[in-house]
Structure 1
Amino acid sequence: MLNKEQRDLINQHYPLAEGLTLEQLEQIAESRSADSLSDEVLVHFLETANLLYRSGCPFISDADYDAVFLAELARRHPDHPYLLTVEPEPAFAEKTIDLPVRMLSTEKAYSQDAIEKWLLRIEKTAQELDIDPETLRFRATPKLDGYAAYDDGQTLYTRGDGRKGTDITRVFDRGLMVAGNGQRGQGAGEIVVSRLYFQNYLAEQFENARNFQASIIKEKELELPALEAIERKAAMFFPFAQLPDWQGTAAEIREHFTDIVRQMPEKVDFDVDGVVFEVTDEVVKQRMGSTRHHHRWQIAYKHNVESALVNVLSVTPQTSRSGRVNPVAELEPTKLSGAVISRATAHHYGMVKSLGIGPGTLIELTRSGLVIPKIERVVTPKPPQIPDDCPSCGSHLVWDSDYLYCLNKTHCPAQIENTLEHFFKTLGNIDGFGAKTIEKLHAHGVNSIYRIYQLALNELVDMGFGEKTSQNLLDQLQRSRLQSIEDWRFLGAFGIYRMGLGNCERLLQHFPLNRLFELSIEDIVAIEGFAEKTAEAVVESLKLIKQDFEQIFGLGFNLIETAASQTLAQIESPVSGKQIVFTGTMVHGTREDMQKEAKRLGAKVANTVTGKTDILVAGEKVGATKLNAAREKGVQILSEQEYLAFING
């Protein structure tokens, strides 16, 4: 039940000798019963479930967490400290800082009766203040299922434990926008990602939206899918003050409750797990106050989850545009939350294998409101149905942790458009070949990079491109070959499995481009940073792209050869071996120019200030985040002029 990422998180944060074994955690989760657990075990299980949820890797449902395990603790010990404090965010082990205001959790309700009791408490408080309850106004907003944060205009904080959080202002430096009016400093909100964008572009790489949101927040450098989501404004910080809302009286809530809770989640294209109600009168809010866990003047209504036991008919493999082969469980048609469900994702083949999902498997299927159907648990396992070959091109599939991949990027029909778009995007010196252009070319039978470079003006015009647009595209293709680019970037453009740009550069520090296809697994393993599994995948991927690579390489790209590692080691310069981060606008050249020059001098270039950073070079218009991070970590800060004098001195 627990995958590798979940197990690693548990081992990292909770030494198992002090709590439960992984097997015991799995057994408790599968039993969905807390009656027989000791108080100590119950709390440890809740802490573990909270850790995984806030790390983007949940292993039990919200409903089970609240209604089974948290409810059992509340029944035994209504004043238990775990119930009276904000669930912490242990996944972020950075230095904590005081929050400008307290950020609390939200009280939850699972029925209209619970909302009615809350309304009565509000009305009673109003009467005590000599305020006519009928004049009170209430606000209802979608309950976003993202990462809670607080923006005071200078710093963006995680919620942490409600009193102390961590500084994640770096997400704004990375380009994250503020939803609504775009203004900083609007207080509490959540980091979210468009539901539609996630389903179309990210579901192949991330198991769920929270997993993706965690990747944006963490200190490590962002990968391409996260950067693209930010650039396309699909991921953003949404202040609660900017949320679409419903406003009315308590009487109107009672009369239109069903319509309100049905319509509010539809007002935003983000994951929503309920509706938040709050009274707006400041005097009443002040009198209601709060517990150490939640504000009494606010409550969240969460939909009850519907479930059913369903038989699996088969497991269908689907090759995504990234090459990951995803399992889809074909089910006996079953009605849940008003919809007939006949398919459900099994997330990955590691889950299919470990849980025994195949023809005849009996599963519990859950669905709540607009939420995608989910396989909650396997009741009766059967032999798993796992493919050996890619359903799109027939190539042999390889395992990577819990996932199956097709490595045939250039000739697999399911991956061709993604391969073409990735090539031009990674080159970075060509415009006009985005998703729409690639889609149009592919629709007319153009299915390789080499074929694109062979296109003539009349062919493009016949495909429906205007004459001027067609000429611009040809000019851009010419430019991409003539303008100098690093050979490691050129290699990275082929999308070789497990070969990001960093690995491409590392490989070319040891072997030139013209020797890559002669390399053995042993040759690659000998390079620091390459494990045997990675080396095996690289060798297999290189075989698959050899013909395409040689054709494209033969077009005569202007490649800058990577300096050999021995040469780098021998370079004597003031920055040799140092890790440098460049920030702000540079005068001496572009930031990319400065980075290239630093690498030529033997430095290691990074984008984020960490404890390993030696020098931060600050140009003009520098944000406070990186400067503050550098000061906190004792990193040397140099202006552009000071840096140039340093390397030339």
Structure 2
Amino acid sequence: MASAASSPAQRILALRELIEHHEHQYYVLDAPEISDADYDKLMRELLALEQAHPELANECSPTVRVGGKAREGFVKVPHSSPMLSLDNALNEAELLAFDRRVRELLGDEPFRYVAELKLDGLSMAVHYNHERLQKAITRGDGSVGEDVTENARTIRSLPLRVQQSGAFETRGEVIMTRRAFERLNEQREQDALPLYANPRNSAAGSLRVLDSTVTAARQLEYMTYFYFVDGQPALDSHWDSLEHLKSLGFKVNPERRLCSNVEELIAFCNEFEVRRESLPYEIDGVVAKIDSIPQQRKLGYTSKAPRWAIAYKYAARDAETIVEDILIQVGRTGALTPVAALQPVAVGGVTVARATLHNEEEIARLGLKIGDTVLVERSGDVIPKVVKVVSSAPEGRSFAMPTECPICGGPVTRLEGEVAVRCGNVNCPARLKQSIEHFASRTVMDIDGMGEVLVDQLVEKGKIKNVADLYELKLEELEELERMGKKSAAKIVQNIDASRKRPLARVIAGLGIPFVGSRTAQILADTFGNLKDIAEFPEERLQGAEEIGPKVAAAIRFYFSDDRNRELVQRLREAGLTMEQEVKGKTVGPLTGQTFVLTGTMPTLKREEAKALIEEAGGKVSGSVSKKTTYLVTGEDAGSKLDKAKALEIKIIEEAELLGLLGK
């Protein structure tokens, strides 16, 4: 709260300036000066002061970043001048032809290009007056857009106020980074919601939702590329305009270049076509503009586009082709995923013959039949996907999910409340390699050395057909493998033997039961104490355990309904693995009654160490953020849990604060 030496108004002003500084460092310059926890402390203090003194509220306060009440719709607003589209150059020859036309129109005048990456997002015009953000408008049809001001205020790389008097306008692109897109889809997958197709559509949808709190949670970014006054360029150089916007605190893409001739422009285009996939955001080409604004005016416009700019488009990331068949892939947890077998087609410079269809519901949504012509999209390193049906085949064949696993012939089941159809056989050959790698991983049975290469050899040579076979491996069998010496083989055998002593929770986690990760496995072990009961208890009894809901209980019951899985567990029991433990009473300590969620990599504590410390102090560690969460403990590369915690206003702390709570 405000100190005795300052009034609430003074403290609010100081906090706003401090938070604005740190937002600029983090979201614009990518150079944070304080931790997320310290930033959140400042924001919470400001929120508390503004709630206590509503008369001091301000539309440019950083607290508007969290979003507000949902609205009923968007108002149409005309642009100060048309937001025109650009002509395209699809290859080097067309770019050279554009350069030739410019030289013909300008005569002997020297000129230079500004080369900028063509961001794949949603165009937006933002108006400022009296140093404050006044209005944000989507491109719309180029003449009229939609007023999305309240949503735009939640974009942390967009300044709410600037150190420039008078009215001006900036135009730029709203984007969603690849990382933010992945987090969004991870969260939607956890919530059993349909996945978004690509970052561009996600950015557009996020900016146009009626609830600005949703926009705030989506981590959109705004990069500017025009500086206007009264609808026209305000300076005589486009490059100088970008530098001026940067000095005002706007995020201007650093990947831009002044080119003195078309050869330098082509070199820039070729450079970023190679670097395209390594960028943190999607691009689909390069925009080249004549730098001199007087020369832009001299060149003028055609009926639909400026003569002083062109978009050099990279190879298409989507293409039309025919679905020749629909195949089934089986993943580690037994999920059956339909995959379109395509007539091979070049997409973004890569020949594509397969595309994911996600699940049966997605096929129904698309209205897809075998034989249809479809649009296939490839985005980054993500597996290609079918976007839509372009035309239906007159004699197209309908698809239905199999009732048996196409690999092992076992029954498949769709659990209640789940989209995926699953094979229940943990020994299914399609699942085997991934299942063994998971079982041997550090956080499960921790069999050091049992990595992907070794597992591939063991499976391909028929040495192991399920995880229980690991405990029957002989030293001589390992020594026969490529690049496996006697010492290495002996160490692997030693590590396998040591894993027999891992606690019950790790054994449960290693079985590969859907929805049963390390946290849920620990709850099951602590509540029931032995695997025999877990395997036999009805769903209602399993749901008596804390945090075990109907979906998890049904998955456990489904797993143990398969004779092959029960046989596997029996073999693990005979191999000497831990099958029971003492059921502990609840620990009472300084963290009793408090629930923690861990995300990211902490400076000194491993995730399992932090979890053990919290539980020893009486606290609980949950795998997901909810309203019941007391603290989110964050580290480097925190995931989507951080966004959800902020949206729910959960207290966010770092390792040092956790150790403080533990009295360490």
Shorter-chain TM-score range: 0.5 to 0.7
Residues 418 and 526 of structure 1, relative CA distance in 2, 3 Å threshold: same
Q: Which residue of the partner structure matches residue 460 of structure 1? A: 478
- Separation in structure 1 between the aligned mates of residue 150 and residue 313 of structure 2, nearest angstrom: 23
Match of 2:614 in 1: 598
**Does 2:265 match 1:265?**
no
**Residue in structure 2 matching 1:139, options 115, 132, 138:** 115
Give matches, 1:246-325, under 5 Å.
248-252=259-263, 264-269=272-277, 272-277=282-287, 301=313, 308=320, 310=322, 312-325=323-336
SS of aligned partner of 2:328: strand
- Within the candidate set 495, 516, 528, 1:499 is matched to 516
Residues 1:449 and 2:467 are matched in the alignment: yes
Letter in 1 for 2:491: N
Q: Does 1:553 align with 2:573?
A: yes
2:375–2:390 contact (8 Å) kept in structure 1: no
State the secondary structure of the residue aligned to 1:415: helix
Q: Could you tell me how far apart the structure 1 residues matched to 2:330 and 2:611 are?
A: 37
Larger Rg: 2
1:493, distance to aligned residue in structure 2 (A): 1.2
Structure 2 Cα separation of the partners of residues 435 and 163 of structure 1:
46
| Offset of residue 351 of structure 1 | 1.9
Residues 280/523 of structure 1: CA separation in 2 closer, same or farther (3 Å cut): farther
Letter in 1 for 2:488: T
Structure-2 change in CA distance of 1:213 and 1:526 (3 Å): farther
Q: Tell me, in whole angstroms, the C-alpha distance in 1 between the residues paired with 2:335 and 2:407.
A: 11
**Aligned in 2, Cα 1:248/1:322: closer, same or farther, shift over 3 Å?**
farther
SS at match of 2:527: coil
Residue 412 (structure 1) aligned with residue 422 (structure 2): no
> Aligned-residue CA RMSD in angstroms?
5.9
Name which of structure 1's ranges 518-527 and 331-340 shifts more when overlaid on structure 2.
Answer: 331-340
Q: In 2, distance between residues paired with 1:511 and 1:459?
A: 38
**2:448 equivalent among 431, 449, 453:** 431
Distance 1:448 1:193, change over 3 A: farther
- The AA in structure 1 aligned to 2:458 is L
1:398 matched to 2:417: no
Give how far 1:17 is off: 11
Partner residue in 2 for 1:489: 506
**Where does the alignment leave 5 or more consecutive residues of structure 2 unmatched?**
1-66, 123-148, 158-174, 204-214, 219-250, 298-307
With over 3 angstroms needed to count, the CA separation of the structure-2 counterparts of 1:303 and 1:436, relative to structure 1, is closer
Q: Indicate yes or no: 2:391 matched with 1:376.
A: no
Deviates more, 1:376-385 or 1:318-327: 376-385
1:579 to partner: Cα distance = 2.3
Q: Per-residue deviation at 1:403? A: 2.5
CA contact (8 A) 1:144 1:272 kept: yes
Query: Identity of paired residues, percent?
Result: 20
How far off its partner does 1:572 sit? 3.5
Does residue 111 (structure 1) correspond to residue 121 (structure 2)? The answer is no
Q: Does residue 469 of structure 1 match 2:494?
A: no
Normalising to structure 1: TM-score of the pair?
A: 0.55
Instruction: Work out the CA distance in 2 between the residues paired with 1:351 and 1:480.
Output: 41
CA distance 1:602–1:432, change in 2 (3 Å): same
2:538 aligns with 520
Distance (Å, rounded) in 1 between the aligned partners of 2:150 and 2:486: 57
Q: Cα offset for 1:415? A: 0.8
**Alpha-carbon distance in 2 for matches of 1:429, 1:488:** 13
C-alpha contact 1:139 1:247 (8 A) present in aligned 2: yes
Residues of 1 paired with 2:452 and 2:355: CA distance? 28
CA, structure 1 residues 190+334, in 2 after alignment: closer, same or farther (shift >3 Å)? closer
| Letter in structure 1 aligned against 2:573 | F
1:145 to partner: Cα distance: 8.1
CA 1:598–1:145: 2 relative to 1, 3 Å: same
**TM-aligned CA deviation for residue 516 of structure 1:** 1.6
Say which SS state the counterpart of residue 454 (structure 2) adopts. Answer: helix
Alignment CA distance shift 1:609-1:332 (3 Å) = closer
Q: Counterparts of 1:382 and 1:16 in 2: how far apart (Å)?
A: 44
SS at match of 1:402: coil
Deviations 1:469-523 (A, max 9, x none): 11221222233234xx442222111111121222222333432223122122332
* Letter paired with 1:456: K
Letter in 1 for 2:497: Q
Q: Is the 8 A contact 2:519 2:621 kept in 1?
A: no
Does the 8 Å contact 1:109/1:302 carry over to 2? Answer: no
Q: Is 1:327–1:345's contact at 8 Å kept on the other side of the alignment?
A: yes
Say whether 1:542 aligns with 2:519: no
- Output the CA distance in 1 between the equivalents of 2:358 and 2:153: 36
Q: Is the 8 A contact 2:328 2:336 kept in 1?
A: yes
> C-alpha deviations, 1:118-151, integer Å up to 9, x for none?
989x989x99xxx9964525436575789xxxxx
Question: Is residue 114–residue 258 contact of structure 2 (8 Å, CA) maintained in 1?
Answer: yes
Q: Distance in 1 between matches of 2:347 and 2:507?
A: 49
CA distance in 1, matches of 2:458, 2:540: 40
* Counterpart Cα distance in 1 of 2:152 and 2:217: 21
1:63-107 Cα offsets, whole Å, 9 max, x none, are: xxxxxxxxxx9xxx75299x98xxxxxxxxxxxxxxxxxxxxxx8
CA gap of 1:460–1:272, structure 2 versus 1, over 3 A, is: same
CA shift for structure 1 position 211? 11
SS in 2 for 1:441: helix
| Cα pair 1:407 1:497 within 8 Å, conserved | no
Cα distance between partner residues in 2 of 1:160 and 1:553: 60
Q: Quick one: structure 1 residues 600 and 246, their matched pair in 2 at CA, closer, same or farther if it must change by over 3 Å?
A: same
Measure the CA separation in 2 of the matches of 1:612 and 1:284.
61
1:463 Cα deviation from its structure 2 partner: 1.7
Q: Distance in 2 between matches of 1:333 and 1:618?
A: 45
Whole-Å separation in 1 of the counterparts to 2:401 and 2:97? 50
Q: Is the 8 A contact 2:181 2:199 kept in 1?
A: no
Structure-2-length-normalised TM-score: 0.54
Q: Deviations over 1:141-188 (max 9, x none)?
A: 575789xxxxxxxxxxxx996654359xxxxxxxxxxxxxxxxxxxx9
Q: Give the whole-Å Cα distance in 2 for the aligned partners of 1:209 and 1:276.
A: 20
* Distance (whole Å) between structure 1 residues aligned to residue 295 and residue 537 of structure 2: 69
Q: What is the SS of the residue equivalent to 1:414?
A: helix
**2:446 maps to amino acid:** N
What SS class does the counterpart of residue 510 from structure 1 fall into?
Answer: helix
Give runs of aligned pairs for residues 181-260 of structure 1, distance below 5 A.
190-192=177-179, 210=199, 248-252=259-263
Please give the alpha-carbon distance, in whole angstroms, between the structure 2 residues aligned to 1:338 and 1:315.
24
Kindly state the Cα deviation for residue 117 of structure 1 after the two structures are TM-superposed.
Answer: 13
Q: Does 1:421 align with 2:437?
A: yes
- Give the direction of change, closer, same or farther, for the CA distance of 1:250–1:595 in structure 2 (3 Å limit): same
Question: Does the 8 Å contact 1:581/1:605 carry over to 2?
Answer: yes
Report the alpha carbon displacement of residue 601 of structure 1 after superposing the two structures with TM: 4.0
Would you say how many aligned residue pairs link Structure 1 and Structure 2?
A: 467
Using the alignment, how far apart are the partners of 1:219 and 1:211 within structure 2? Answer: 16
> How far apart, CA to CA, are the structure 2 residues paired with 1:272 and 1:365?
19
User: CA separation of 1:374/1:390 partners in 2, compared to 1, >3 Å: closer, same or farther?
Assistant: same
Q: Residue in 1 aligned with 2:41?
A: none
Instruction: Give distance in 1, aligned partners of 2:201 and 2:411.
Output: 29
Q: Structure 1 counterpart of 2:403, which letter?
A: D
- Judge conservation of contact 1:261–1:274 (CA < 8 Å) in 2: no
- Displacement of 1:527 in angstroms is 4.1
Query: What displacement does 1:578 show?
Result: 1.1
Q: Is 1:417–1:447's contact at 8 Å kept on the other side of the alignment?
A: no
Name the CA distance, whole Å, in 2 between partners of 1:340 and 1:581: 42
